[in-house]
Amino acid sequence: MYLTAAAPVSQAERIDSLDVLRGFALLGILMMNIMSFSMPFSAYFNPSAYGDMTGANYRVWFFSHLLFDQKFMTIFSMLFGAGIVIFSTRAAERGRSPAAMHYRRAFWLLVIGIVHAYFLWYGDILVLYAMCALIIYPARHLAAKWLLPIGLFMIAVGSGVSLLAGFTMHLWPPEAIAEMARFWNPGAEGIAKEIAAYTGPWSGQMPHRVEMSLGFHTAYFLKWGFWRAGGLMLVGMALYKWGVFSAKCSRKTYLTMLVAGLLGGLPLILTGIRLNEAAQWSLYFSFFKGAQFNYWGSLFMSAAYVGLLMLFCQSVGGGWLKNSLRAVGQMAFTNYLMHTLICIAIFYGPGFGLFGQVPRTGQIAVVLAVWIAQLIYSPLWLARFRFGPFEWLWRSLTYWHAQPMLRGPA
């Protein structure tokens, strides 16, 4: 049988609506990631642990939590699952071994993610995605009617593990409770130590970064990460097979997703905010039990966003914005890593060293500036080059030969 050359998809083969949605999700992820770049880690989960929570700063946190927290990671995870199906299908169509290509692709993502997590930023998501991809790949052949319930079941397992931990916390050994309390609210001494580390030299940041990354890639992966991200990837496979991400469904379907998502998600998340604030962000309630409102509410909100973006893709207007979001999505790997490079230059030493000094309102200014920059430079870059720099690197490693970078003459 004739084997076509191993190569990534051409521009004509790309699914525009999927790239638009990926670009939208990539930009949205920064709204939450900026917190862990710029503030002590505990402030991400427990907003009372550090920083001003009054006035405009409170409103920034409130709307970030309501509209962004976990919503865009959810979309990105579903799109990653859809990408597994697309990649393996097209590899088979070219006469290549889908499994061999997939595992090589996941391996190199894991390598890049490890470098990113352990040497630059512990909040990396690439290692989690690569580890999930290595496990869930065989499920790609399942019908959508099976992928969806299995994926939702996995998501529910992650929720159940968290609730079980919350309800049994009083049975934990005292030292385990004390360790969790230090994570949840490290106090002035712990906060000062973390700020000193991240405003100091790179070598001084490594102990905290390595400790956090190891935790994410071991216990966190087993208790939460695999179940949440892996389950969402299976849901994404199902939605792709149903044509949801390809803007092929009816306008009524997407309107239903939008309205039902908002009606299901907003009340849940608002209830969670009210209850967590009433509990004064207590570790015993907020970390395990109180987090469940956003855990599930984010699924509804993500469905609403998908419906909204697919309606946008089906519309005839918004040409510039569609093209810009599509370019951001096509360069999502590069743009994601650019978030890290930009933020560590601003917040870490030996950059500007502003870690712990920028309030939530200032963080939003950075986010907006990065959004504008990426919406502008992504289409300009792709007008000349076939891939973003890190997309080129990943593809070249996956196919084991350098991909052509420059676009040919029109």
Domain assignments of the chain as residue spans, ordered by start: 11-399
Helix, strand, or coil (residue 406): strand
Helix, strand, or coil (residue 117): helix
Helix, strand, or coil (residue 249): coil
CA distance 65 to 44: 10
> DSSP code of 123?
T
What pLDDT is recorded for position 2?
A: 30
What pLDDT is recorded for position 11?
A: 56
Spatial CA neighbour of 284 closest among 184, 355, 204:
184
What pLDDT is recorded for position 146?
A: 98
Q: Helix H segments across 242-331?
A: 251-278, 292-314, 319-330
> DSSP code of 51?
S
Structure tokens given for 320: 């510039």
Q: What CA–CA distances, in Å, run from 303 to 72, 74, 144, 159, 268?
A: 10, 9, 17, 19, 14
What pLDDT is recorded for position 94?
A: 87
CA distance 296 to 184: 22
- Burial bucket for residue 314 (CB in 10 Å: 0-12, 13-18, 19+): middle
Q: How high is the mean pLDDT in each 10-residue block of the chain (410 residues)?
A: 44 83 97 96 94 95 97 97 95 90 97 98 97 96 97 97 92 92 92 96 95 94 96 98 96 98 98 96 92 97 98 92 97 98 95 96 97 98 95 94 79
Structure tokens given for 219: 């216990």
What pLDDT is recorded for position 14?
A: 83
What pLDDT is recorded for position 3?
A: 36
What pLDDT is recorded for position 5?
A: 43
HSE toward the beta carbon, residue 364, CA cutoff 13 A: 13
> DSSP code of 357?
T
Structure tokens given for 240: 């792709």
Structure tokens given for 307: 């419906």
What pLDDT is recorded for position 8?
A: 53
Helix, strand, or coil (residue 385): strand
Are the C-beta atoms of residues 238 and 231 closer than 8 Å to each other?
A: no
Phi, psi torsion values for 406, nearest 5 degrees? -75, 145
> DSSP code of 201?
-
What pLDDT is recorded for position 10?
A: 54
Phi, psi torsion values for 292, nearest 5 degrees? -65, -25
CA distance 325 to 307: 16
Indicate the length of the chain as a whole number.
410
CA distance 331 to 342: 16
CA distance 325 to 22: 8
CA distance 196 to 199: 5
